[in-house]
Amino acid sequence: MSKIVSAEQAVQSIRDSQTVASVGVIGWVVPDATLAALGQRFEQTGAPRNLTFYFPCGTGDAVGIKGMDHVAREGLMKRIVSGSYINPVDPRTGQRPALMQLIQENRIEAYSWPIGASMHWLREVARKSPGYVTRIGVGTYADPEQGGGKFTQRCSEDLIQKITLNGEECLFYPTWPIDVAIIRASSADEFGNLSFEDEPLVSSGLALALAAKASGGRVIAQVRRIVGRSERLATQVRLPGMFVDSIVVDADMMMTTDTPYDRNYLVATGGPHAVPSIPFGPDKVIARRAALEVRKRELGIFGFGAAADVPLIMAEQGLIDPQTGSEDYWFTTEHGSYGGVVMNGWQFSANLNPTALLDGLQQFDVIDGGLCKFAALAFAEYDSHGSVNVSKFGKANPGAGGFTDIAVNAERLVFTGTFTTGGLEVDYADKRMMIRKEGKVSKFVRDAQSITYSVHGGVARGQTALIVTERAVFEATPDGLVLCEIAPGVDVRRDVLDQMAFAPARILDPLPLMDAALFDPATGAGAGASAIREEVAISDTVTS
C-alpha cells in the first residue's frame, strides 16, 4: 500500500492531547504545507485539541513560511516547547506572529530550552533513557532557580530539574513520548526512504523520526518529489522507509525565505551569487571591528543577528571568496553547515557555497565538545554582574537558540551590538563618529531581564571575551568590564559612561582609539583591510 497521502490526510490521525514535534530552522527545512493542514483542520473541525508541540528550533519565519505560526491557535496548542521563537513584524500587516501573541497574553504554556538541549534530548527519547543531563545552562534562564525556561505564567510543570551528580550541579531534562513527528526531506520512494539532496540543512529531522518511532508514534515526511527505488544510491538515503508512515508531496515548497531554490547553498563552488552588502553605519563598524578577532585555521561559529555580518565583511574585504570560500578561515553556525560564507538575516543558518554538512545533533556534539574555539554572538543586554541576555527582553521572547551552548564552550568570545537601541542615529565624517540621537534603551543594564550566559563565570574558567559596539570596545575581566577602546569623535563621559547603568571596573589610561579606518566608508578589500587588521593587532599588543 502506498504511503503517499495529501497533507490533509496525513494529519487526520493526530488525536487530542498528543505531542507533535516538527523540524525547521527559520525558513529552512520546514514542512510548511503539513503544518498548515493541521492548523486548517482545527479551524474547520475544532480538533485535535490540547496538543503539546515540540520544536527543537524556531520553525518558520512567521511571514511567508509560517511554520509553527500555523498551529499557534488557542485550543489546538496547549503547550509549546521550543529552542527558539520567531518574533518579526509582518511587513504586510504590521502584526507580530500569532504565537508571540499567545505567549505575551499568557494563553498557552510556553517553555524555551537552549537548542543544544532541545536537540540532544531527542537522542534520549530515541534510546528510551530517563532524560538528558548537562552542565550547560546551570545559572541561566533554563535553571529552575532562574525560571526553568518558563516563558508564560501558565507553565506549572517543571520540565527541567536541577540535580547534583558526583558533586556537580547539572540540569536534567526528563523524557516523554513523541506521538507524531512531522519532518521534511527532498525525495522519497513509495516505501518512504528519504534523501535530502535539495536541503542545505538536515537539522533535527532524523532525530525526530527516531524519537517518534521509539515512542510508538508516527512519522509524516513532506518531500518535493517521488523517485523510483533504484534511482538513488543507498549512501544517499538518510532515513530508511520503515521509519516513515506517511509521505506528503509538495513540489512547490520553498528552499527558505525568499528563495525557491538556490544550488549555491548545496555546493562548495557555485555560480554567481550576490553576497549581501551591509550598508555603511553602526552595524558595519561593529562587524569590521569584530572581524579583526577572527584567526586563520581556527573554527569560528557565528550566531544570529549582528554577529552574522562578520563573515560578509570579510568577503567584502577580499579575505574570503564568496564563490569558493577559504581554506584559511573556517566558519560554521549552530545548524551544521561548514565552509563557504555564513549568511545573515533570513538566509542565516545555511552557508553559501558550503563544503560539508552535519545534522543538528552532531553539530551540538561539536559545539559542546569545545571544537568551535572562537564564537561571535550578538547581545541584547549586558549587566553589572557580567550576565548576557538574548533570551527574553521587553516584549521579545526569542529564547536562547544555540547561544548558551556556544558561549559556554568557546575559548574566545566576541559579543556584538549597538550600545543603545530604539532610535539611535549616527553620522560619520573624516573617519570620526557623531551621535546625532541617542537610542532610548541602553543595553548596559544593572540587572538583565534574563540570564542567557554568565560571562563572568566563563572568564573565571579561562575564557576571553570582548564586547564590541559601534562606539567602544570592552574586555571582560574577573573584576568586571574594562573599557579598552573608544571611537574617534565619541565623548567618554557623555556617550559611554552616562549611557551605562553601572561603571566599568577600569578604563585604560591612555585610552586607545578604535582604528579610524573602521569608520571610513571607503575602506574595502585587499590591502586596506589587511592594514586595518595589522594596525589593530599592534594596538592591542601595545595596550594589553
- Asked if 334 is an active-site residue, the reply is yes
Same-domain check for residues 418 and 529: yes
End-to-end CA, the chain: 71
The CATH number of the domain holding residue 153 is 3.40.1080.10
Is the same domain home to 169 and 45?
yes
Q: Residues 316, 334, 381, 485: which is the catalytic one?
A: 334
Helix axes 115-126, 360-368, angle to 10 degrees: 120
Residue 304 and residue 210 share a domain: no
- Taking the mean position of all CA atoms in its chain, how far away is CA 430? 36
Residue 260 lies in a domain: no
> Is 487 in the same domain as 350?
yes
Q: Is residue 263 part of a domain?
A: no
Query: CA 317, CA 7: separation in Å to the nearest integer?
Result: 47
**For residue 241, is it within any domain?**
no
Q: Which domain holds residue 478?
A: 282-514+525-543
Q: Residue 71 is which amino acid?
A: V
Residue 308 amino acid letter: A
Number of domains in the chain: 2
Cα–Cα distance measured from residue 103 to residue 107, given in angstroms and rounded to the nearest whole number? 6
Q: Do 207 and 318 sit in the same domain of this protein?
A: no
Q: What is the pLDDT along the chain (544 residues), one digit of tens a residue?
A: 789 999 999 999 999 999 999 999 999 999 999 999 999 999 999 999 999 999 999 999 999 999 999 999 999 999 999 999 987 888 888 888 999 999 999 999 999 999 999 999 999 999 999 999 999 999 999 999 999 999 999 999 999 999 999 999 999 999 999 999 999 999 999 999 999 999 999 999 999 999 999 999 999 999 999 999 999 999 999 999 999 999 999 999 999 999 999 999 999 886 666 688 899 999 999 999 999 999 999 999 999 888 999 999 999 998 988 776 678 999 999 999 999 999 998 999 999 999 999 999 999 999 999 999 999 999 999 999 999 999 988 878 899 999 999 999 999 999 999 999 999 999 999 999 999 999 999 999 999 999 999 999 999 999 999 999 999 999 999 999 999 999 999 999 999 999 999 999 999 999 999 999 999 998 753 333 433 333 333 233 222 2
Asked if residue 78 is part of any domain, the answer here is: yes
* Grid coordinates belonging to 238: 538518510
Residue 254 lies in a domain: no
Residue 373 in contact with residue 299, Cβ under 8 Å?
Answer: yes
Q: Are residues 211 and 301 in the same domain?
A: no
Domain match, 532 and 383 both: yes
The full length of the chain comes to 544
Give the residues across from 483 on adjacent strands. Answer: 474, 507
Partners of residue 426 on adjacent β-strands:
435
Is residue 255 a part of any domain in this protein? Answer: no
Domain contains 321: yes
What secondary structure does DSSP assign to 85-152, as a single string?
---PPPTTT-PPPHHHHHHHTT-SEEEE--HHHHHHHHHHHHTT-SEEEESTTTTSTTSGGGTTTB-S
- pLDDT, one tens digit per residue, over 45-69 is 999 999 999 999 999 999 999 999 9
On whether both 365 and 450 belong to a single domain, the answer is yes
Contact indicator for 387, 476 with CB cutoff of 8 Å: no
d(CA 147, CA 158): 9
The DSSP code for 276 is P
Tell me, yes or no, whether 213 and 317 share the same domain: no
- Whole-angstrom distance, CA of residue 33 vs CA of residue 29: 12
Cut 0.85: pTM above it: yes
**How confident is the model over 103-141, as pLDDT tens digits?**
999 999 999 999 999 999 999 999 999 999 999 999 999
223 forms beta bridges with 249
- Beta strands across the sheet bearing 387-389: 444-445, 381-383, 387-389, 453-454
User: Is there a contact between 294 and 374 (Cβ–Cβ < 8 Å)?
Assistant: yes
Based on the domain organization, do 403 and 299 belong to the same domain?
A: yes
Task: Establish whether the linkage from the previous residue to 521 is cis, with ω within 30° of 0.
Answer: no
β-strand 19-22 against 180-184: which pairing, if any? Answer: parallel
Q: Are residues 301 and 394 part of one domain?
A: yes
Do the Cβ atoms of 243 and 274 come closer than 8 Å? no
Q: Is residue 153 part of a domain?
A: yes
Q: Measured between alpha carbons, how far is 91 from 386 in angstroms, rounded to an integer?
A: 36
Are 215 and 288 in the same domain? Answer: no
Written as one letter, the residue type at 188 is: A
